[in-house]
Chains A and B, each alone.
Chain A
Amino acid sequence: MTDTAELSSEERGAQEAELREVWRTPSGWRYWTSVNNSDIGLWYGSAAFLFMLFAGVLALLVRVQLAVPDNDFLSADTFNQAFTLHGTVMMFLFAVPIFEAVAIFLLPSMLGARELPFPRLSAFGFWSFALGGVFVCGSILFGAAPNTGWFMYPPLATDKEYSGIGADIWLLGLSFIEVASIAAAVELIVGIMKCRAPGMRINMMPLFAWYLLIVAGMILFAFPPLIAGDILFEMERMFGWPFFDAARGGDPLLWQHLFWIFGHPEVYIIFLPAIALMAMIAPTFAQRPIVGYSWIVLAAVGTGFLSFGLWVHHMFTTGLPQISLAFFSAASEAVAIPTGVQIFVFIATMLAGRVIFSVPMLFGAGGLAIFVIGGLTGVMVALVPVDWQAHDTYFIVAHLHYVLIGGMLFPVVAGIYYYYPLLNARKLSDRLGKIAFWLMFIGFNVAFFPMHLAGLRGMPRRVFTYPADIGWDWFNLISTIGAFIFAAGVTIVVVDVLRPKHRQPKEEQNPWNAGTLEWISEPEEKWGVRSIPIIRSRYPIWDQPGLVEDIKAGRYYLPDAKDGARETLVTSVLDAEPLQCLRVGGTSVLSILAAFSLGGVFIALTFHWWIVTAACAVITLVAIVAWLWTGTAVIPRDEMRDVGLGKTLPLYMSGPQSVGWWAMFITMAGDGTAYASLIFGYFFYWTIHNDFTGGHAGPGLLWPLAAAGLFTLAWLAMLLARRVNGGDRPALTRLLLLLSLLLTLAAGGAGLAGPYFAGMDPTVHVYPAIVWVVTLWTVVHGGVGIVMQLYCLTRSLAGRMDRHHDMDLRNVVLYWHFLVITAITSFGVLGLFPELR
């Protein structure tokens, strides 16, 4: 960067002091109000890791119980709680969150950004996750943990006598955590698309960013069906709406579809980020760029797509027609191909380089060897006939652990050993790492390999005991021994991470000589990057000489923090051209307050404390509005900001250019998926019954069509309001907002009037129940729309919205696009479909 005048060391020191002050993590109890990505990432990861250890202990209890036949170490009920919680915690509280944690920690510096675009949202996600996780895990201490398996199949899980409060804890606790996951997904997608360093075109992104982009997209489409399922499930448990009760027209299989539409992509949501870690580690230790960058990106995208077409392979034994089994079998086989490509990309990279073999590579290669076995058994059980035998046996237990431990846990440990220097400027112990690896590798295989045989010899899953002399005794004893060896290995990793290292000398900044940007971040500085560089390569540290020094000397963009605000660059989606200097939220208690009060809503619902629920809901609303009011769409004092290198960028942007608009769009895509799942339910009931109304009256034509019409008018009024606001006529804008609000109220009323006046009782039959759910979903979204309209009105009255600063209004109109599609679909289907049939 020779074209800029070199700063003196005093000027540079002043800039650094400025930056340090702006990005400072508060001390004392206020430490926990930090929203900085490196703090949140660390807490997130540590919490996920603790939950993993907890679930691991549960697994050991399960293994002790099964060590010998006819054992009574655990009672049947405790055993059932233990395996349910083991699966639930590993899936929801470890496997997915650990990657959100790693991504929040690594992505900004990897992309050359200071921060992700919504740091308070990250904090909100973390606190929701932590609270929900403690709530779900704690239940076992009171003997009230869910006990129906992590898949929660009704009617067992809707049987209140059997499942008690545990099922509610599962449904509500996890819905809460899913909200956190979706929040993280929104954050990551916007961050990856909009906050890359200038010049880092989309085909130059580090592979980790590619994978996380794909995975966050998958979360967005995979979690909402489960949320929709949770809503139906909780309505059945709380109010007796018979969605899964066959006696009243419901069907237990609908839950299985919704659960596995979530559950199968979930496997790849877990697996892909681990592969992403390997995609960062393998090139470093081969000391060359990855071979086949486009191959691996396409393979990852392909895996993501295919993973949504496989869910029925969890249902091969439910008696579906063989023709659909054949289709899903083919899709399940097909997904092996992109998976294989990714593995061969790593091997090819190693072959084309000169491999330095150290602990991260040991875990990576060991994980690969394990994962390949899981992949091969996966190919076996994807064939329908084999699955007819293997389904719900220990063969599947072995298969899924080979996949998840080889494909996820080993790469995570590799990642811990690889990235630890970014946390502490020191490496973990090579010797302990090797011991841990061999204990884990051997222990794992000793524990899980025999399960293949036990399963094929007929041992079903989820049995708390088994008879002697059926041919499983030795397999189970060996598995238990292996599990403890494996646990010893994990313990050594924990010891290695926690042992004091202050006497160990500090490493240089990039100790593995890696080529990607995350290695420029310094553990003791919170600002992420000293200045935001211009990127011209996939491996900039290798290919751009002097890059690290120039960044550190502040010779690139945003080397200072003039206005005392946390800032990062927003760039264009494909080519990463600088567009805006974004001011992100700083330290705040609001995100904690919002998370805890929302947690209060879910927890109080579990115990049917209606007043507490309502109170918490109000606090949540207030906290979120306060957060939006103070933290987002702040109108800056100056319109433009000199970001350095002779470039001046706007500080405020609205519409599709702004990150807020993208966040709204992405959130609504997820919301729309949940809604689509409900509509799927409506038509599902139609397909399984000759007369899906069960002879019950429908909402008629009049009211639903009136509601659809009124929602459309309200939407038109919103469009007009945006337009008029652009013409700088605030009074008319307010009037139109008010008109739209009144129309929405009327629309909601009309929507409710249909089923209400038809006397539809949702507890009698599934038809009135699904009509009510779709109606309520739409009306509640209308209600949220009204809150947004009120917010815009208030902003306008407070003088915080004008023709240039109209981000709030534009985002709300975007919401209304989705709302009007929802309303027309809902009321169109509810009103017209029963007539058209």
Chain B
Amino acid sequence: MFSDWDIGAIFDRDTIDGASLPAHKSEPYRLRISIGARAISRRALPILLAPLSGCSGVQSALAPAGEEAAAIFQLLLVMVVGGALVWFAVVGLLLHAARRRKAPWTEEQASRLILFGGVAFPVAVLLALLVYAVWLMPVIRPWFTRQTPEPEMIEVTGEQFWWRIRYPAADGMPAFQTANELRLPVGERVAFSLKAADVIHSFWIPALGGKMDMIPGRTNTLSLLATKTGVFRAPCAEFCGTSHALMAFSVIVMERADYVAWRRAQAMGDGTGGREGERLFAFHGCAGCHGIRGTASAASLGPDLTFFGQRQTVGAGALANTAENVARFIRNPDAVKPGAKMPAFDMLADGEITAIADYLVGLK
């Protein structure tokens, strides 16, 4: 099904341009230094190469691919240059003051320095910056009440330690639930309704814009406008417990047509996976928490796994999405992701785990 799409080739990890997100526990590629004992043994694990090029920008505010990120980047650049000038001026003056000079300044000259350097100059500069930033806020984060019509809201809920994502029904596209991977159309403002199920999390796609907290009992809103297609990574930005570091989702910005096609296909689901894996998935209770549309599994306690094979990572950014890693995760989630709520399934036979993993990875 995936290969029917034009966009398929771009995101197929086997192609040369394949952009896939770096995930944890893969081989440290450039830095071959490790301190802990287990880290050494981890090298023996099957290597999954995250392509070197193109990856260092996936989670960077310095490589903007969205309107808000670009505006903030520009503001930041101005301030970095200005800040550097101020710093050199102040330190230069300090060094000059520390030198032995022929004649010290008079008290009057020195007081004038305080007045101009310490008061007048900062007041002028800070005021200008403030006016610009306050003007910028509603531009990059418009108030929805002023907008007509209100944009559709994608609901994202932070849970320890993954992301529940609900697309609403819109334009003949039915509603559906997915997890840990967000797809967005390029060039359109998309709004998010942000919630938290347990503790505070924070929703942040650095390449597209700034963050917004997800707070239990409250619903925050944020809208973003992606200006470039591509694959990005979005970490949880508020400390949320043991595996806060292992809570990220992928963001894939697509052309409108591909996006629509993807949403339609997602809503329908896929029941064409491996029969044996599907049976084991239900038999061993996986279906008690995880839903897969198109099959009998309809639970929604844990992350939805429909078209799991299309996803970049397993465990919300914890590992790259390969059958080996899926099997590893099923065997003992806590070893990969300390504090994860999913119980260990190490009592299952290796063959069964492999079958389930193959089944999940095959859901494309």
Contacts and interface: CB of A to CB of B under 8 A. Distances in A.
Nearest to B205: A458
Given A68-B35, A467-B26, A468-B31, A385 B113 contact: no
Contacts of B317: 467
A60 interface: no
Contacts of A65: 35
Given A76-B338, A457-B62, A468-B28, A385 B114 contact: no
B31 A69 contact: yes
Contact of A376 (B35, B56, B68, B87): B87
Given A247-B217, A351-B97, A386-B79, A456 B60 contact: yes
A357 B101 CA distance: 13
Interface in A64-82: 64-65, 67-73, 75-77, 80
B86 interface: yes
Interface string B206-245: 1001111101111011000000000001011111111111
Contacts of A342: 118
B122 A458 contact: no
Contact of A318 (B198, B213, B241): B213
Interface in B91-105: 91, 93-94, 96-101, 104-105
Nearest to A251: B217
Nearest to B86: A376
Interface string B4-33: 000000000000000000111111111101
B140 interface: yes
Interface stretch (A196-204, A257-265, A332-340): A332-340
Contacts of B75: 383, 385-386
B71 interface: yes
B44 interface: no
Contact of A246 (B55, B94, B104, B217): B217
B52 interface: yes
B58 to A, nearest CB: 7
B242 A162 contact: yes
A330 interface: yes
A468 B239 contact: no
B34 interface: yes
Task: Give the one of B61, B104, B118, B236 with max A CB within 10 A.
Answer: B118
A461 B29 CA distance: 23
A359 B225 CA distance: 54
Contact of A352 (B22, B93, B104): B104
A352 to B, nearest CB: 4
Interface in B239-289: 239-246
B138 interface: yes
A70 B39 contact: yes
A391 B211 contact: yes
A155 interface: yes
Interface in B165-210: 194, 198-200, 202, 204, 206, 209-210
B131 to A, nearest CB: 10
B35 A71 contact: yes
A153 B100 CA distance: 52
A354 B244 CA distance: 54
Interface stretch (A364-372, A593-601, A734-742): A364-372
B100 A379 contact: no
A478 to B, nearest CB: 11
A363 B180 CA distance: 49
A434 interface: no
Interface string B106-127: 1101110110011100110010
A695 interface: no
A625 B104 CA distance: 59
Contacts of A466: 24, 245
A391 B206 CA distance: 11
A3 B231 CA distance: 88
From A155, A253, A383, A384, name the one whose CB has the most chain B CB atoms within 10 angstroms. A383
Q: Determine which residue in B31, B194, B218, B239 has the highest number of CB atoms from chain A within 10 A of its CB, and name it.
A: B239
A344 B130 contact: no
Interface stretch (A23-31, A97-105, A226-234, A321-329): A321-329
A456 B212 contact: no
Contacts of B338: 75-77
B94 A369 contact: yes
A345 B211 contact: no
A361 interface: yes
A469 interface: yes
A350 interface: yes
Given A355-B97, A379-B129, A343 B36 contact: no
A386 B59 CA distance: 16
Interface string A229-255: 000000000000000001100111100
A347 B35 contact: no
Interface string A373-401: 10011011001111111111100000000
A776 interface: no
Contact of A460 (B34, B79, B83, B235): B235
B339 interface: yes
Contacts of A445: none
In this complex, which of A159, A326, A352, A474 has the most chain B Cβ atoms within 10 angstroms of its Cβ?
A352
Greatest chain A CB density within 10 A among B69, B83, B211 is at: B211
A468 B50 contact: yes
A341 B118 contact: yes
Interface string A460-495: 111111111111011001000000000000000000
B141 interface: yes
Contact of B29 (A77, A329, A380, A468): A468
A700 interface: no
A291 B107 CA distance: 7
A342 B119 CA distance: 10
B137 interface: yes
A539 to B, nearest CB: 15
6 contacts: A319-B220, A341-B119, A386-B76, A392-B237, A457-B61, A471-B60
Given A77-B338, A388-B210, 17 more contacts: A65-B35, A68-B35, A69-B28, A69-B31, A71-B35, A153-B239, A162-B242, A246-B215, A291-B110, A291-B111, A349-B110, A351-B105, A355-B99, A390-B61, A457-B61, A461-B239, A469-B26
Q: Lowest 9 A-B CB distances belong to which pairs?
A: A246-B217, A388-B210, A471-B56, A458-B59, A344-B118, A463-B245, A319-B220, A350-B97, A348-B110
